[in-house]
Each structure stands twice: as C-alpha cells, then as structure tokens.
Structure 1
Amino acid sequence: MDFEKLYRPSALNSYQFIAVTGLIMSGAAHLIIKYLVARPLPTGFGWLYVCWAGLYVVGSLLNLFGKPSSGHHHHHH
C-alpha cells in the first residue's frame, strides 16, 4: 500500500486536492472573520471542516483502494 497517496501533493486525486484546498480556504476565512472583521462566525461554519475532512477520507479511500480504469490513458508528449 502506497501511503504517499495520502500526503504527497503530486499523488493526490481530485477529491483529496479539493478537500485540502477547501480546508486551507476555510481556515483562512475563519481567521479573517475572527481577527479582521471582528464578528462572530456564521452558524454552522464548523461543519465546513467536517465536510472537507469527509471528502478527503473518501478521496483517500478511492486513491488507495481504487483501481485505475483502463479506458483513460493519459499520454504526455
């Protein structure tokens, strides 16, 4: 099992990449709202982190245990 598929950026699949990007952007928004805007976080904002983590787990499972389909060959020229 290739555990580099969990943390190496070039080995992440689309789901993992979107989840990591979402976590970073949500964290940045969290800090901006908390320290620069000085208003309370919107109700349910914390659920964003749960959704991004769930998407990352699903992507990781697909990346680790999924089999690449033979119909989608990527040729680099």
Structure 2
Amino acid sequence: MTMRTGVFLFGGVEMEDAGPDLPAPTDRRYTNEQMWKATEQIIDAACLSDKLGFDSFWLTEHHFQYEGYEVVPNG
C-alpha cells in the first residue's frame, strides 16, 4: 500500500484588525496590493509543497464571500 501526503491550504488576506469587537470579515475591504500578496503567498506555498515532494495541493473553494476575506478563486 502506498501512502500519499498532501497539503490543504485555507488561504486568505492577513487581517491586522482581527479580534473581538472589530469588523466582521465580510465587512472588510482590501486593496489590490493586499489581494495580490495573498495570491502570491498561495502560489509560493504550492511551489514549496511541490519542491518538498507532497503528492497533492488542495485549496478551499468559497462562494458568496467578499473578495479579500478568502482569497481562493471559485473553481
């Protein structure tokens, strides 16, 4: 039997204002630069996972979320 190991990544924009009594994630808005940084981090994680020999790289899929809260494209 062959065991395969993969990476499952949630992905998202870093929220400097996260915590109790602060804006809900769906009320936040992010700049194009913040969005692109999050996208680059996902790409970097995928490349590193491949380099380290993982068998698969999975991303979450989200619908009806404001851009920036979960930076994962709807497939």
What's the TM-score once normalised by structure 2's chain length?
Answer: 0.35
**Structure ID, larger Rg:** 1
Larger RCO, structures 1/2 (Cα 8 Å, 6+ apart): 2
What's the TM-score once normalised by structure 1's chain length?
Answer: 0.34
More helix by share: 1
